[in-house]
Structure 1
Amino acid sequence: MKQRFLFYLLLLLVVKAGFAQKTTKPYFPPKGAWEHRSPASLGLSQAMIDAAIAYAWSHESRQSRNMDSAQRQSFGREPYSDPVGTLVDRGDPCGLIIYKGYVVAEWGQPSQVDITNSVTKSFLSSVVGLAVDRGLIKSVNDTVAAYVPPIEIYHPGAATEVITPFASAHNRRLTWEVMLRQTSDWEGTLWGKPDWADRPDSNFRTWQTRRRHEPGTVWKYNDVRVNALALAATSVWRQPLPQVLKTHIMDPIGASNTWRWMGYHNAWIVLDGAPVQSVSGGGHWGGGMYINAWDMGRFGLLTLHKGNWNGTQLLSEQWVKQALTPTSAQPTYGYMNWFLNTDHKMAAKAPVTAFIHIGNGTNFIYVDPEHDLVAVVRWIENRYMGDMIGKILEALPGK
């Protein structure tokens, strides 16, 4: 009888412990603070963490720290390569490893505010997602043209100029979906940059007269088209996108006040009678998001939790699901700069459920829901990104 009692008591304790473990509330860092835990306290290997950090230091990007020079290294063969936005020299490599919400490692100066290049695109797709969640855009399958009237360009002291970026026979068929997936083949010139001049191939001159691809069929990484999406989103929100991002994402996740989302110097429109800058979707030609690693980590933690921050759904789960759905023309791409680990092409040792927000430099936010892991790595040579992720994963329990 006593043995049976002890057995049931032990069973009850095991069940209660399991229930408590399942109902433990995830940790979300409050604004201005982030709890640190030693790797060992969470079952991680300190030696492997140290090895990963050493790897990041020893494989710094070979690009110039002068961002104007770095841009010319990356895009110098383009016929319209001159910068038209702000470019500030970057700092040292830095990064964070965040496990179960806690910071288990940091290196460099995570508080330094640097350009993050195309990670900006993930912020852009998020403000489009906010518009969909709020019904400002009824469906991503709607044409963008239906939401974008003629736009007046702001030229101080000069004659008024009006543009219609989605009015051509091809462009008026484009949906928000194909714009988000970079499969639109949008045609035109925006802010002095023609679409055909972005990352042209050897026969780029034929692109000026070629037939356009059917929307959704061909993937092409193209910042002119990304900037056209940013302009369209600005038209929908009727306010600057940085204000939208600050109000609905960055303030709720406790981000700092040091990040800045910039546009090109000539990218100004008249909106409700006032000049408004249309921000760029990356650092190509300058501008884009300038941000520190801590704020990047908070955004990564938000996407890890499917748009939920400490019980508040900032981005709908449905939007995050769509953002992580492979683009048919490019299986490793979801919505802009939610890169997927399809067939382990992003990182051989990472699960296929992992994804990454990535920008030139290389800057990236690695998000791994399966392991409750986020890593921010800044200024590592691009070809070593997958190995860096692999080294972080080697520190996990059981690896």
Structure 2
Amino acid sequence: MTVLSRRGMLALALGALLPAVAGAGALARASGPAPYFPPPGEWARKSPAELGMDPAALAAAVQFAQSRETTRAVDFSDQEATFGSRLGSMPTRRAASSGLVIYKGYVVAQFGDTHFVDPTYSVAKSMLATVAGVAVRDGRIQVDEPVARRVDDGGYASAQNAAITWKQHLQQETEWEGSLFGKNADFIGKAAFGAGERKPRVLGPPGSFYEYNDVRINRFALSLLRVFGQALPEVFQQQVMDPIGASNSWKWVPYHNSYVDLNGKQVPSVSGGTRWGGGMWIDSWDLARFGYLWLRGGAWKGKQIIAPDYVQAALRPSAHGPDYGYLWWLNTKGKNLPGLPANAYAALGAGSNSIVISPDHDLVIVWRWHAGNAADFAAKVVASIRH
């Protein structure tokens, strides 16, 4: 090989490299400044106009949200008629409707008592999905493996339950059979399940049928406790809430009878909701931080709390669910969150309590104790965005 040919090859290599470098630089410039992350105890505000929103339209959206108070009893006296006999504590009262709008990382609107610590019902399911994401990150589980490979406490010993995977738990397609903490997975019994009582049906194989089922979600939570060897509220605090600067006012309340033996110690197994009491009790600001973590792809100030591929998988619809991911409600068909983009998604709890996330708009909306679809408010906020 001649010297000239070596130079020619070097020039060719540089010629191929330079456009790629230039393209990377252009991409970095196009991506704009690094996103803002609120420090613990505060969250920066910007005026709607400063961020390109129509202040009057946003104010009208907030007024609309404030006028849609839930019909749920303020003292939770409707709890047992709606959901059945309690297994855990309930507050003596709830707050009125409240909310936060986080746009481009900044607070642009808030209303109601956003510091009130209230049960958030099934929003806790999306938090369980986050704890599972930590378990995947740390190599404690793989979503497609049978749970029985890691958990040997009798809960997966039957022929029906042995093949259940973590992914099926995350998508509510396990068809798990059995009872846990005094509630059966069939949801049969008026006293135990209230208006949520269901008619008997024949179970299919795991992965064949979607059913929104808190007994099975509670089994999932117990299984996560087993693989961590630690109470999930501790995991959630150490691995998620502390890193994102959440307050210390939230608490994940167990049932009275959901303590299990872990190496000779009584440890609480928590629920994925407040259907039978207990559950995640939290204020709106901490809910907003949690939603913002997901909006930012599971990262917070350069730390990847949840792996990007897990976040992507969590936001893909399951085979049998009603546009449902890993314990998140999706909008790929435009039905769950009408008026919002197909990639919008939400954590939804009874009452209603909701976190709506719209990546296309760099938007997180917390709306608590409201009537109607969570998208009713979100779509009006989106309409106030001018550019």
> Normalization by structure 1: what TM-score?
0.86
**RMSD over aligned Cα atoms:** 1.9
Classify 1:126/1:203 alpha carbon distance in 2 versus 1 (closer, same or farther; 3 Å): closer
Classify 1:38/1:205 alpha carbon distance in 2 versus 1 (closer, same or farther; 3 Å): closer
User: How far apart are 1:348 and its partner, in Å?
Assistant: 2.1
1:71 to 50, 65, 79: 79
Could you list the runs of 5+ residues in structure 2 that have no partner in the other structure?
A: 1-24
Deviations 1:284-330 (A, max 9, x none): 10111000000000011100011011111010001111110101102
User: How far apart are 1:262 and its partner, in Å?
Assistant: 1.3
Partner of 1:363: 353
Classify 1:33/1:21 alpha carbon distance in 2 versus 1 (closer, same or farther; 3 Å): farther
Classify 1:201/1:177 alpha carbon distance in 2 versus 1 (closer, same or farther; 3 Å): farther
User: How far apart are 1:17 and its partner, in Å?
Assistant: 11
Counterpart amino acid of 2:87?
V
User: What pairs up with 1:152-163 in 2 under 5 angstroms?
Assistant: none
Classify 1:19/1:128 alpha carbon distance in 2 versus 1 (closer, same or farther; 3 Å): closer
Partner of 1:6: none
Deviations 1:229-288 (A, max 9, x none): 000000000010000010110000000000001111000111011110001111110111
Partner of 2:130: 126
Counterpart amino acid of 2:348?
I
Partner of 1:87: 90
Counterpart amino acid of 1:119?
V
The answer to whether the 8 A contact 1:327-1:334 is kept is yes
Partner of 2:155: 165
User: How far apart are 1:332 and its partner, in Å?
Assistant: 1.1
Q: Distance in 2 between matches of 1:359 and 1:330?
A: 17
Partner of 2:323: 332
Secondary structure in 2 aligned to 1:129?
helix
Q: Which stretch has the larger CA shift, 166-175 or 197-206?
A: 197-206
Q: Distance in 1 between matches of 2:381 and 2:38?
A: 21
User: How far apart are 1:72 and its partner, in Å?
Assistant: 2.9
Is residue 2:58 matched to residue 1:49?
Answer: yes
Q: Distance in 2 between matches of 1:197 and 1:279?
A: 19
Is residue 2:302 matched to residue 1:311?
Answer: yes
Q: Distance in 2 between matches of 1:73 and 1:90?
A: 17
Classify 1:202/1:351 alpha carbon distance in 2 versus 1 (closer, same or farther; 3 Å): closer
User: How far apart are 1:331 and its partner, in Å?
Assistant: 4.5
Classify 1:18/1:343 alpha carbon distance in 2 versus 1 (closer, same or farther; 3 Å): closer
Counterpart amino acid of 1:29?
P
Deviations 1:313-356 (A, max 9, x none): 010001111110101102510011x1101221122221001100
Q: Distance in 1 between matches of 2:199 and 2:65?
A: 40
User: What pairs up with 1:275-286 in 2 under 5 angstroms?
Assistant: 275-286=266-277
Secondary structure in 2 aligned to 1:105?
strand
Is residue 2:213 matched to residue 1:231?
Answer: no
User: How far apart are 1:125 and its partner, in Å?
Assistant: 1.1
Is residue 2:188 matched to residue 1:183?
Answer: no
Partner of 1:261: 252
Q: Distance in 1 between matches of 2:133 and 2:377?
A: 30
Secondary structure in 1 aligned to 2:333?
helix
Secondary structure in 2 aligned to 1:376?
strand
Could you list the runs of 5+ residues in structure 1 that have no partner in the other structure?
A: 1-15, 76-80, 151-163
The answer to whether the 8 A contact 1:331-1:342 is kept is no
Counterpart amino acid of 1:388?
F
Partner of 1:394: 383
2:39 to 10, 16, 30: 30
Q: Distance in 2 between matches of 1:394 and 1:284?
A: 34
> Normalization by structure 2: what TM-score?
0.89
Q: Which stretch has the larger CA shift, 346-355 or 288-297?
A: 346-355
Counterpart amino acid of 2:85?
D
The answer to whether the 8 A contact 1:59-1:384 is kept is no
Classify 1:121/1:204 alpha carbon distance in 2 versus 1 (closer, same or farther; 3 Å): closer
Alignment coverage as a number of residue pairs: 358
Over the matched positions of the two proteins, sequence identity in percent amounts to 42
User: What pairs up with 1:200-215 in 2 under 5 angstroms?
Assistant: 204=198, 206-207=200-201, 210=202, 212-215=203-206
Secondary structure in 1 aligned to 2:254?
strand
